[in-house]
Amino acid sequence: MRPFTTETLEKALTEKLMLNFSKTPDEATDQEMMKACALVLRDVMAIRGVETRKRTNREQRKRVHYLSMEFLMGRSLMKNAYNLDVLPQLKEALGNLGFKSGDIFEMEPDAALGNGGLGRLAACYLDSMATLDIPATGYSICYELGLFKQKIVEGEQVELPDHWKDLGVSWLVPKPEEAQEVRFGGTLREFWDNGRLHTVNENATTVLAVPCDMKIPGFGTDHVNTLRLWEPRATSPMDMSLFSRGEYLKAAEEEAMAESIAKVLYPDDSHMEGKSLRLKQQYFFVSATIQSITTKHMSLYGTMKNFHEKNVIQINDTHPALVIPELMRILIDDAGMDWEEAWNITTQSVAYTNHTVLAEALERWPQVLMEHRLPRIWQIIKEISSRWQNRIDEYYHDPGKTQYMAIVWGGEVRMANLCIAGSMAVNGVSALHTDILRNDVFRDACQMEPWKFKNVTNGIDHRRWLSEINPGLDGLIRELTGGNEYLSNAMVLQKLDDYADDKTVLDRIGEIKRQNKETFALHAKKTRGVILDPNSIFDVQVKRLHEYKRQLLNVLHIIALYQKLQDDPNAITQPHTFLFGAKAAPGYVVAKRIIRLINSLADQIAHDPICKDKLQVVFLENYRVSLAEVLMPASEVSQQISTAGKEASGTGNMKFMMNGALTVGTLDGANVEMNQVLGSENMFLFGLHADEVRQLKREGYIPQRLYTQDETLRRCVDALRTGFRDGVTYEDLYQRLLFGSGGSAADEYLLLADFGSYCQAERDMTAAYADRDRWNRMSLHNIARSGIFAADRSVKEYADNIWHVSHR
């Protein structure tokens, strides 16, 4: 049921402006109107949220608690209005009050509380859990600054602070009455009482965790869930005596130490101070979360013995792994349970999603840091580790396997192994990824406890990533499928396959894409001053900058095209625009150099008359959710070219597919399952398979041989040494590819091995593009068969196979 008509919305907005800003609509700024919109919708969600909570408590339903260091929410105003079914009315009401709705929506900052796919996935799952009427809460940190705003200065990435809360705070509701105390450091004192050993942490530093709640409405339902973001505060007031003596910094020291926990997402951990802060972040949000969950459980049921029957805790990657010892601490120290009972409850409550097979991304903490910062947690981890190692020894009788599977070994605490030991389920995020976990990364653990290992292929919020951002395509789908049923059941998209030979429909697919390209070209001109050619192929690679994602392979191919044009100015007949968007981690030197290289190449091509109307390269500054929402509908080619066996799943590949872009990619991550539903005839596949990658590395990969034998490849790689018109050369990247550097093997991610195959896939794609009916038919099939990658399907699989909770 719609809570508002256009008229009642106008009245509500007018009242909010007067009550909160003492302004009439005529006097209000766009920022004030954006906040008023947020407050009006927040009121609706708050009322529905109360009803949802009362219903959940009354029915004593099992709750899902989704813990993630990242929630890449993006903008919320349009999304919430869409889910509440008031978006058309809101747009009309804003217009009637003298505002442009597009300007108001654009005013909202992205809530960039995440780095990439991990955080975007978490955001999609929150939407689906609410839509499916699953009682759920997301938990993270209320970061003061988002990831960072990326500025390109003279071709190089510069990181600027992202003050998302200036307007984003409109969605947050502080709950100081539900604050929790989190303790760091201190010393342990043990004593016996009533026949039980008690452990008390004394002289600890205490930080207050204050919840700030963001409401998450479902689509087509009154169900509303919550994203709880923890904000750190000092427990003691500022020392006024110190302040009065002029010792201002010392007076505010405790407050500053507390606030540092939530200052930024992922502080640089290349030094011990950074590692310490990251560990504090993780324990801060985990401890506050578990205390909050258990407090509410006790108030409802009066016992912790049924905790696992009424709660499931899903940890998104290893960052929240400390939930396992923290829950054990509460069950033993606070609830008075013995070890076996506490462990039984914990291991039936926690489930772990693994997101990577990269060894460097499987978190390990220095033992000394854990001992010093979290003494009681360290004590519990030691006991978990000892018992786990005994189980391994009894099962394998193999010291080598014990060492590999151990939780504590060599002065380190291995968080992935802790997750495996303490969870009821371990899931990968694509079929290929899960196979690698089962058969390689966690092979020994899987053999010992095979029932734990499951697969749930990732999914995306198709309501946001198709219907909301691509209204032209949404309209066509509704027309061809007979309504909006696909919004609640994405598999309805399959009906589009029936129109594969309908030229009128195929032409409309092409027209919609063309209109979206023109819209994005206007956006690029307005925001960056870049002139894009809508007649060219929009060939797009947007994702986090990492060597395994192989943006550098894309660059080498573009260099080859550029050199081909130098040799023959008529070599390219179809104009081709390559669009990149990526942020590199501030401490990732190689990734930042690749960004510099992309911009050097873009500058070279832009200033060469031979390339005019034929070849263009553009680096899209500050790639983020709101930029993706404009780019995805306009994209025609999706670059998913990671080294096979390295990408866990991907979700950008699904968004491109759902908007009709065609994939140039390796058989990696969810590309494998995309290929299963599309067939190779509707993708452009290339490169080594995962097993071939492993075999080549076993046999001894020598990239210099490929460099010597292939003249096209040699010229491309040599261009890195020669450099470009801006005077920058890339000898470091040249050396890294051919000889290795910094402890990395030569061409560690096999760019040169896949180069020839990749160039051929791009040629095949360009040839297909020339046949418009064929291209539009392939695009139609991609849209029609993308429904399997909806987040609703993923969440239902979690609910049925891991969480064991009911849903609609």
Q: Catalytic: 504? A: no
The Cα–Cα gap between 733 and 438 comes to 34
Rounded distance, CA 797 to CA 791, Å? 10
Q: 452, 544, 546, 736: which one is catalytic?
A: 544
Dihedral sign, Cα of residue 625, residue 631, residue 633, residue 638: negative
Q: How far apart are CA 665 and CA 157, in angstroms?
A: 27
Strand (E) or helix (H) holding 701: none
- Known catalytic residue: 79? no
Q: How far is CA 239 from CA 209, 244, 247, 256, in A?
A: 20, 9, 10, 13
Tell me how far CA of residue 77 lies from CA of 46, 153, 216, in angstroms: 15, 31, 11
Which of the following is catalytic: 63, 228, 655, 785? Answer: 655
In the three-class reduction of DSSP (H, G, I as helix; E, B as strand; rest coil), residue 414 is classed as strand
Active site residue 549: yes
Q: What are φ and ψ of residue 270, in 5° steps?
A: -80, -5
**Measured distance CA(184)–CA(370) in Å, rounded:** 10
DSSP 460: B
User: Is 8 a known active-site residue?
Assistant: no
Catalytic: which of 62, 149, 308, 355?
355
The DSSP symbol for 485 reads: G
Tokens linked to 303: 């016992």
Q: Is 355 a catalytic residue?
A: yes
CA-based nearest residue to 10, from 96, 108, 104: 96
Please give the biggest Cα pair distance in the chain.
Answer: 90
CA–CA gap between residue 370 and residue 35 (Å, rounded): 42
Handedness of CA 278, 281, 283, 289 (dihedral sign): negative
DSSP 358: -
Amino acid at 312: V
Which one of the listed residues 63, 543, 550, 646 is annotated catalytic? 543
Q: Alpha helix locations (H) across 215-353?
A: 240-244, 248-251, 253-260, 272-301, 307-310, 323-329, 339-346
Catalytic choice (289, 651, 666, 766): 651
* Separation between Cα atoms, residue 277 and residue 779, nearest integer Å: 47
CA distance 712 to 723: 17
CB 189 within 8 A of CB 202: yes
The single residue of 228, 464, 549, 736 carrying the catalytic annotation is 549
User: Which residues touch 385 (CB under 8 Å, ≥6 apart)?
Assistant: 406, 407, 408, 418
Q: Helix-strand-coil percent breakdown of the chain, rounded to 5? A: 55, 15, 30
Closest CA to 213 of 253, 156, 173: 173
Secondary structure E strands in 372-493: 408-409, 412-414, 425-428, 453-455
Bridge-based pairing state of the strands 637-640 and 537-542: parallel
Residues composing the chain:
808
Query: Smallest Cα–Cα separation from 184: which of 103, 119, 254?
Result: 254
Q: Residue 544 catalytic?
A: yes
How far separated are the first and last CA of the chain, in Å rounded?
18
- What is the C-alpha separation between 717 and 735, in angstroms, rounded? 10
- Going by their DSSP bridges, the two strands 425-428 and 149-153 should be labelled as unpaired
The alpha-helical segments, DSSP class H, found in 568-636 are 589-606, 625-631
| DSSP H or E run through 215 | strand 205-217
Pairing mode, if any, of strands 537-542 and 576-581? parallel
The answer for residues whose C-beta is within 8 angstroms of residue 278's C-beta and 6 or more apart is 266, 267, 269
| DSSP SS3 for 682 | helix
CA distance 309 to 633: 43
Catalytic residues: 355, 543-544, 549, 651, 655
